[in-house]
Chain A
Amino acid sequence: MSNVIAQIEQQIAQLSSKATKKNTGVITAVADGVAKVEGLSDVMYNEMVSFPGGVIGIALNLGEDEVGCVILGDVSNLKAGDEVSTTGKLLSIPVGKAVLGRVVDALGRPIDGKGPIDAKESYPVERIAPGIIARKSVNQPLFTGIMAIDSMIPIGRGQRELIIGDRGTGKTTICVDTIINQARINKVGLASGDKNFRPVYSIYVAVGQKQSNVVRTISALEAADALQYTIIVAATAGDNPANQYIAPFSGAALGEWFMENGMDALIVYDDLSKHAVAYRQISLILKRPSGREAYPGDVFYLHSRLLERAARLDGKGSLTALPVIETQAGDVSAYIPTNVISITDGQIFLETDLFNQGIRPAVSVGLSVSRVGSSAQIKVTKQVGGKLKGELAQFRELAAFAQFGSDLDAKTKATLDRGSRIVELFKQLQLNPIAIEVQASLLWALQKNYFDSIEVKHIVAAANSFKDFLTTRKADLLTKIRNEAKLSDEIEAGLKAAGDEWKNTFSAK
């Protein structure tokens, strides 16, 4: 009781008898989450505007006679004639480690029923991206745990790598796998007591997703014990477009806190196609001139200013971005896909055909590229996987050609055999990221022809068997590979011994 009275007294003591100035306006129209307001003569661009009932809006259109505000909240109680006022603040959200393990909305308010968030700091949602001087080139790896990606399309800390593909091709799965892998690496690294270990914290931004999908993602992260290193920002399909528009920027603000405070973070924008659609809706209601596919002229700037906030900073941390784009019928030349492809540092293209053939993750090696990631790749992966992309490309070319005839020369046949084994080896179950040292060992075994005598249809089983063999019986060797990150003579001898031993046991089955 006395505590409550003390709190009230504290609040009263903070009250000032000075006059406060606010700039006001009157709502003239409300439609589809956007309010037109007359007055607000002093309002700033992107300033938070206070609506009746504690509803917050953002001033997006500063016209001569009226201001267009997007409303971040329930619009059902707002009506023409209501008074609104400026707040003098830019939209900001609570940031920090206190938000880890929580599910928040676009304004950083908890929606997981776990109580209030005890955040000490807040960051503005809209922020200018770090400049050239503050940045450092990408040269530290970020392992996704997906063998096809880590070996051929490596991602570095601070990179922007687009995940693009049709619906149902496993885009979200790749992102969730990557988040789970970061949590797994964090646990191993923090347990090792290595002072130089830098954990990666993840932020998953769900834009325009079905609530059931978001729940599924949360459950998957919880099941993998990855939620403790993850923040989920949810602006689902049921939220108004303003929240969907602001959510990625809120996520970026959360990630920037880690980056600015010398930590590394990963942010997934799932997905920016729906984000562009939400922005188009807002822009059309605000009567902004529309361009191609009815998107406003600044839709490129919308995504470029968002993705430019992902960076590796000199003397600080990094923010790696994995934006997701959903294509229609595999058309990567549509407006939004081409925009985001040109902004990002590479793309992982997922093909429906490959997915339907059972090649999962359905990464199209030919269309996928990582523009800066190779400098972040560790030496051991380069040593064992350097030729993979070329071999796979040759295989794809020859496989198409070989369909027309059966008489193949020995070299072509060998290339086809090797290619089909690589394809099988890269098949990976979802929510099952593979540690980089295991990936390197598997690829080493492939390069050293350990899988050549095994039938192609048994490659997946053989790979799993070798993986289990290494993790259960050669943990020391794996630790050595992880720590040294290169293929020394000693490690190679260890791998050879392990490979031979495994081959005997596997063959005996």
Chain B
Amino acid sequence: MAADKTTKLLAKQLFKLSLVNGTVSPEQVTGVLGWVEKHQPRRTLALLKVYQHLVVTELAKSHARVEHAGPVASATLDAIAAALTKKYQRAVTATAVPNPKLLAGLRIRVGSDVYESSIAGQLASLSV
């Protein structure tokens, strides 16, 4: 069931309530879910889907997915996390995900930003 305007608006309000100091708070999310369960607003499923999407998008902004080909030292991950924390002015954590398709180098995804420093990326830019 697609979410209508009212449902989207309510989901956004609930999402705002889930933030503490600009970051998603697990306690607040639990509270919001409890409220939804108790009051069963209209289009609950659509509401929860929109709400989930908003939370996931927000969490992705604080999480760096570091794709790599070859080994990555934990010190490198820490350095990446520190650099991104400084850049985005918010706490950013980093997780390593192996991706042999990169051939060599790294690809870091934070929210909708992608930092590319891989051989695969360079080859792709050559083909353009």
Contact = CB atoms under 8 A, between A and B. Distances in A.
Given A20-B117, A20-B121, A15 B112 contact: no
A41 B108 CA distance: 16
Contacts, number: 43
Interface in B89-122: 106, 108-109, 111-117, 121-122
B112 A40 contact: yes
B115 A41 contact: no
Contact of A23 (B108, B112, B125, B128): B112
A278 B85 CA distance: 46
B115 A21 contact: yes
Contacts of B108: 19
B16 to A, nearest CB: 13
A12 B122 CA distance: 9
A54 B111 contact: no
A11 B116 contact: no
B126 interface: yes
A15 B122 contact: yes
A18 interface: yes
Given A11-B126, A54-B128, A17 B117 contact: yes
Interface string B1-24: 000000010000000000000000
B117 A39 contact: no
A489 interface: no
Interface residues of B, number: 16
A41 B112 contact: yes
A40 B113 CA distance: 8
A85 interface: yes
Which residue among B8, B106, B109, B111 has the maximum number of chain A CB atoms within 10 Å of its CB? B111
Given A17-B117, A54-B128, A39 B122 contact: no
A17 B118 CA distance: 8
B128 A24 contact: no
A362 B122 CA distance: 60
B117 A18 contact: yes
A407 interface: no
Contacts of B117: 17-20
A192 B22 CA distance: 74
B126 A21 contact: no
A41 B88 CA distance: 14
A89 interface: no
A281 B47 CA distance: 31
Contacts of B111: 41
A25 interface: yes
B109 to A, nearest CB: 8
Contacts of A17: 117, 122
A288 interface: no
B126 A24 contact: no
Given A15-B122, A15-B126, A54-B128, A20 B112 contact: no
A40 B114 CA distance: 11
Nearest to A64: B12
Contact of B114 (A11, A18, A22): A22
Contacts of A15: 122, 125-126
Contact of A21 (B8, B106, B114): B114
B111 to A, nearest CB: 7
A54 B111 CA distance: 23
A85 B114 contact: yes
Contacts of A41: 111-113
Contacts of B8: 65
B1 to A, nearest CB: 16
A42 interface: yes
A327 to B, nearest CB: 39
Nearest to A12: B126
Contacts of A22: 113-114, 116
Contacts of A19: 106, 108, 115-117
A23 B112 CA distance: 6
Contacts of B121: 20
Contacts of B128: 54
A142 to B, nearest CB: 41
7 contacts: A19-B116, A20-B115, A21-B113, A21-B114, A22-B113, A24-B112, A40-B112
Given A11-B126, A18-B117, A19-B116, 11 more contacts: A15-B122, A15-B125, A22-B114, A24-B109, A24-B112, A24-B113, A24-B114, A25-B112, A39-B112, A41-B112, A54-B128
List 9 A-B pairs, minimum CB-CB distance, nearest first: A19-B117, A39-B112, A41-B112, A19-B115, A20-B116, A24-B114, A22-B114, A24-B112, A21-B115
